[in-house]
Structure 1
Amino acid sequence: MVVGSLYLPKDNPNKPLGEDAHFMHELYQTIGVADGVGGWALKGIDAGIYARELMKNSFIATYDETMKGDYVNPKRVLEEAYKNTNSKGSSTACIITLNSMKNTIVAANVGDSGFLLIRKGKITYKLSIQQRGFGCPYQLGNCNSDNPSVAQEMELNVERDDILMVGTDGMLDNIFESEIEEIVERAIDQKLKAEELASQIGNIALYNSFDRFADTPYARASEGRHKGGKIDDITVIVAYIQ
């Protein structure tokens, strides 16, 4: 995997780092995203701190996994990171690794972050999100939250030149699959680098998030309760399979 990313925290002077976090471990072909649950702000807790600690510990756990002489197992990474994360708050999480021996990607996901697998400009797989209701995703945390046992696990075959696109809900809520396919097809023609494609996707999601009248996945999912985009932290990771 050749990877690139973009992170656009929403404008909040009290939380300049936002509530999203991610990591990319190119050597061990593993990437992950997390999205701290904003509802903790009502209790004076910055869930972004939990998300960042969870992703830091996931990065460390990825290294530990390879030292065992085994391929990286995303769910085991998540279990180890969860066990070692002690901050208050909670977070969604999605971790994906490339198993180059089997030509597959293996993923573990909790909540409403997710990924798309794109082949020849067309989305061939989209991860189904985990939520108990609109705006209430499954989440990892230390205070009556979920634990990694609820994680969705999947393994998908990949081919050379496939594109893996991973994002938090700030991306997924603000840009339709058809828009992503159009951008990806242009990116393929223009031979954009992974970080350049991530930047294009993230910035269009940002533009849509501020449009109060836009037709967005978030507006449709709300079933009439909300119009336009959703202002949120936006994380996009793009991985080219080579």
Structure 2
Amino acid sequence: MGEFWPLQMVFQASLLLMHRWAEQNVNPALFPRELMANASDLVMDEEVSYNPQILLKKAHAATSSIGSATVIIAMLEKSGTLKIANVGDCGLRILRKGQVVFSTAPQEHFFDCPYQLSSELIGQTYRDATLCSVELTEGDTIVMGSDGLFDNVFDHEIVSVISKIQNAVEAAKALAELASNHSVDTTFDSPYALEARNMGFDVPWWQRILGKKLTGGKLDDITVIVGQVIRASID
């Protein structure tokens, strides 16, 4: 396991805030759960009006739990426009005819330190969200997930799973299982390991001489949502 120590070091950097909450005896799951529950409750609010940034603003303001979280919200208008607000390193992919035609980009202060909404006065807010709008067509597939998915599964693997499994629920389960398997595989050259090497993290020089390199998945929470665009039937 010695050759994998740099990957563990950079992963530990992303856990500092979680450790802070743990030291204060704060359950880190409470803040994101309440945040998403508030977003669900407010989605039909007149002020929101299919604006994910406003939804993010109101949901964050209504959240009283202590903690922090990355978050992505997508709202589909009846016209077929998907509006997205993203804070941090959650992600979204749109697949069309077997190809990824749209991807969100993560927001990070530096490698493995993503933007987050939090209960603290100093930090990111809805104003920091990256906003996107995408015109969808019938047959498109939307894949949303936490960094636990995209740090462990390549886009071409997502395309492969979606092409084989038409049912959205089963596809989400398959992607989550694939991400989980990759996360504990120390020999898998994951997206996370690839990015770490690109940022200068690697095994010691003497191991590189022997042909070794930094590999392995990233242990993390994994959330996956898959949706398919279909034409609504009108009675």
- TM-score bucket of the superposed structures, by smaller chain: 0.7 to 0.9
Write out the 4+ residue segments of structure 1 that deviate beyond 6 Å after TM superposition. none
Give per-residue Cα distances to partners, 1:114-169, cap 9 Å, x unaligned: 10000012101110010011111000012122111100111001100000000000
CA distance in 2, matches of 1:175, 1:61: 32
Q: Which residue is 1:211 aligned to?
A: 185
Describe the SS at the equivalent of 1:63.
coil
User: Which residue of 51, 57, 79 maps to 2:32?
Assistant: 51
CA contact (8 A) 1:71 1:99 kept: no
The RMSD of aligned alpha carbons is 1.5
User: Which residue of 165, 170, 177 maps to 2:148?
Assistant: 170
More helix by share: 2
Matched, 1:62 2:52: no
Q: Which residue is 1:195 aligned to?
A: 169
Tell me: CA distance 1:38–1:227, structure 2 relative to 1, closer, same or farther (3 Å).
farther
Amino acid at match of 1:227: T
Amino acid at match of 1:58: A
Matched, 1:237 2:225: yes
User: Which residue of 55, 79, 90 maps to 1:77?
Assistant: 55
Q: Which residue is 1:18 aligned to?
A: none
Describe the SS at the equivalent of 2:69.
strand
Describe the SS at the equivalent of 1:222.
helix
Structure 2 unaligned residues grouped into runs of 5+? 1-16, 203-213, 231-235
Matched, 1:104 2:97: no
Describe the SS at the equivalent of 1:232.
coil
User: Which residue of 29, 38, 41 maps to 2:22?
Assistant: 41
Describe the SS at the equivalent of 2:105.
coil
Q: Which residue is 2:4 aligned to?
A: none
Give TM-score scaled by structure 2 length: 0.80
Structure 1 unaligned residues grouped into runs of 5+? 1-36
Question: Displacement of 1:42 after TM fit?
Answer: 4.2
Tell me which structure has the larger Cα radius of gyration: 2
Give TM-score scaled by structure 1 length: 0.78
Number of residue pairs aligned between Structure 1 and Structure 2: 198
More strand by share: 1
Q: Which residue is 1:154 aligned to?
A: 132
CA distance in 2, matches of 1:148, 1:46: 23
Matched, 1:122 2:102: no
Question: Displacement of 1:44 after TM fit?
Answer: 3.0
Describe the SS at the equivalent of 1:47.
coil
